[in-house]
Amino acid sequence: MSRSPDSHLQVVARVRGVRERDSRLGLVTALHEEQAAARRVAELQEQLASMPAHTVGDLTDFAARQYAVAAIGHALGTARGTQESASLVSLAAREQWHVDRTRLAAVESLIERRAQARAEEHGRREVKELDGIAEDLWRRNAGAHTRDRGGVA
What's the mean pLDDT in 82-110? 97
* Amino acid letter, residue 15: V
Report DSSP state, residue 52.
P
Percent of the chain with pLDDT over 90: 71
Q: What is the model's pTM?
A: 0.70
Of residues 107, 89, 82, 109, the one with CA closest to residue 23: 89
Q: 149 — phi, psi (to 5°)?
A: -90, 5
**Nearest-angstrom CA–CA distance, 118 and 126:** 12
pLDDT(145) > 80? no
